[in-house]
A and B are shown apart, each in its own frame.
Chain A
Amino acid sequence: MENTTAWITSCKSQESGWLINGNMSVPNDPANRDCADVLQWIAEGNTPAPEYTDAEIAANTQAETNATSQAYLDSTDWYITRHAETAVAVPADVTTARAAARAAIV
C-alpha cells in the first residue's frame, strides 16, 4: 500500500498543527488526511521540532525591539526638526530615550 509518511522530511510544531517540509501547514484535524500521516509519522517514533529555535526566538524578539524602537524614534523626530528650525531644546528625557532606542536597534 502507499507509504503515508515518506513525504514528511521535516516537521515543526505549530499552535494548531504542524509545519511540514517548510511550506505546508497541516491542521490538527483528524478528518484531514495529512494530519493522519503526521500522527502516523509521530507514532513511528519521530518528534516534531519546536515551532521556533532559540535563534528564531531571539530574532523575533529583536525584530519586535527594532519595531518598537523605530516607532519611538519616528514619533519623536519632530523634536529634532523643531530644534533644527527654531533652536528649541530637545527635552533631556527624550534625548536619553532616543539614544536608548537607537542603541537597541540591531
Chain B
Amino acid sequence: MSTSRTREKADKVTFTQTEVTSAITAGDTAARAGRKNLIINGSMQVAQRGTSLTGLHNNTNYLIDRFSFGGGTIDGRVTMTQDSDGPAGFANSLKLACTTADTSIAASDENYIIYRVEGQDLQQLKKGTASAESMTLSFYVKGNAAATYTAEFYDADNTRQNGQTFNVTTSWNRVTLTYAPDTTGAYTNDNTIGVYIIFWLNTGSNLTSGTFTSNTWASSVQANRVSASNTSFFDSTSRTLNITGVQLEVGSVATDFEHRSYGEELALCQRYYQKYGGASDWTVGTSANYNGSSNYLGLSFINEMRAAPTGSWTNATGWTVLNAGSAVSTTAVVMEGVTTNRAEIYFTTASAMTQGNASWVRGSSSMFIYLDAEL
C-alpha cells in the first residue's frame, strides 16, 4: 500500500478504493483464520468404505466419507470413485462418471451429491435471528464438457431453500457462492440434520418447472428448487464430474481451503462411520462364554458417534472364538445394547465352548464390522 499512498498533508494519508477493499478482505480473512471450514473431508481424502462404487442411481450411496450420491430410481447409472485427479494441492476428488445414459428424464427424477450438517454445528450462522450471517460455499469442479448445476442449501428444520447455479468446464475451477443470511427459521441445536447441501445433477420438471430465484431464502416449493438451466448428468455416457476442496465458512468471502491432516479428518469422519477389520487374524476383542454356544463381547468405539449407530458385519459365520485351547467358528452374530460409544456383540457358536471361560475373538482379512451413524 505504501507505493500508492500520497501524503497530502502532514496528518492525512489517502488510499485507493482497491487498497481499501483489499485491506477489508484481508482483515476478514484474518478474523476467520484457524478452524473455519464447516465441511468434514472436503478434500475427499478419507474413503473408509472403498474407492469405487458402480451401477448407482437411487437411494443413498456413501463412498467418500460424508458425501453421498443419491436419488430416485431411473434408468441411468453412474460410477462413483475416489479419484487421484485434483487441482494443485489436492490429491483426491470425488468423481462421478455416467455409465448408462438416460435421456428420457421423468418429472419426478432427481439425482445429486449431498452433504448433511448437524444443526448443532451451524449455530454460528445465527440463522433465524436479526443478526444472521451470510455464508460462503466454495469448491473445485471439473467435467468432461461444459455443464451447469445447482448448489442448494435446504434447511431441514424449517423446510426452507436457497440455491445458486454454478458452471463446470473441462479444467479445474474454483466455484465461490455466497449465500444471503436468513433471518427466518433457526437451526435446532441438536445432532440431527440442520441443513442439506445438495449439488443437483439431474432433475425432472417437478423441481424445475417453477421460478428459480437465485440466492434467495424461501419456504420450500419443490418446483422452485432447481434452475431450469441445470444440465442432466445422464445426457451422455461421456459425462463426468470431479469435485473437491469443498468448504463452507461464515461470511461473504471464500478464503483459501483449510487443509487438515488425514488423521484429523479421519477422526472427524468417525463420528459418523467406523470400520473395523480387514487384517489377517485381526482382534475383535476379549469375550466371555455365557454358555457352550453363546459368547458375548463388549466393543468400545474408536470415537464417540453422532447417534447410536447401525452395526453390520460381513459374515455371520467364520469368526474364530479361541476358547480353552481350541478354536470354534461362529454360526450367527447379533449386535445389541448399542450406544454412541459401546455395543455388545453376541456370537453364537456350535456347542463347543466352556461355560464361564474367557475367549478371544478374531476375524480374517475379509471380515469387517461397520458402524454407521450418518445423518
Contact = CB atoms under 8 A, between A and B. Distances in A.
Contact of B353 (A14, A16, A32, A67): A67
A71 B292 CA distance: 9
Contacts of A19: 334
Contacts, number: 94
Interface in B282-303: 291-294
B258 interface: no
A2 interface: yes
B372 interface: yes
A48 interface: no
Given A1-B72, A1-B110, A3-B59, A26 B291 contact: no
A66 B375 CA distance: 44
Interface in B312-333: 312-314, 316, 333
B210 interface: no
Interface in A8-58: 14-17, 19, 22-27, 29, 31-35
B355 A23 contact: no
Given A66-B292, A66-B293, A71-B355, A26 B310 contact: yes
A5 B38 CA distance: 30
B310 A67 contact: no
Interface residues of A, number: 31
Secondary structure of the A side of the interface? Answer: mixed
A22 B275 CA distance: 19
B372 A23 contact: no
Interface residues of B, number: 39
A71 B349 CA distance: 16
Contacts of A68: 291-292, 355
A67 B73 CA distance: 51
Contacts of A66: 292-293, 351
B288 to A, nearest CB: 13
A67 B374 CA distance: 40
Contact of A17 (B292, B294, B312, B338): B338
Interface of B: 58-60, 70-73, 110, 191-192, 291-294, 306-314, 316, 333-338, 351, 353-356, 372-375
Interface of A: 1-3, 6-7, 14-17, 19, 22-27, 29, 31-35, 60, 63-64, 66-68, 70-71, 74
CB-CB nearest 8 A-B residue pairs? A67-B292, A31-B307, A25-B335, A63-B293, A29-B308, A27-B308, A67-B291, A24-B312
28 contacts: A1-B72, A3-B72, A14-B334, A16-B336, A16-B338, A23-B312, A23-B333, A25-B310, A25-B335, A27-B310, A27-B338, A29-B338, A32-B310, A35-B310, A60-B293, A60-B294, A63-B292, A63-B293, A63-B294, A64-B292, A66-B292, A66-B293, A67-B354, A67-B355, A68-B292, A70-B292, A71-B355, A74-B354
Given A1-B110, A33-B374, A71-B355, 8 more contacts: A14-B334, A15-B336, A16-B336, A17-B336, A23-B333, A26-B310, A32-B309, A63-B291
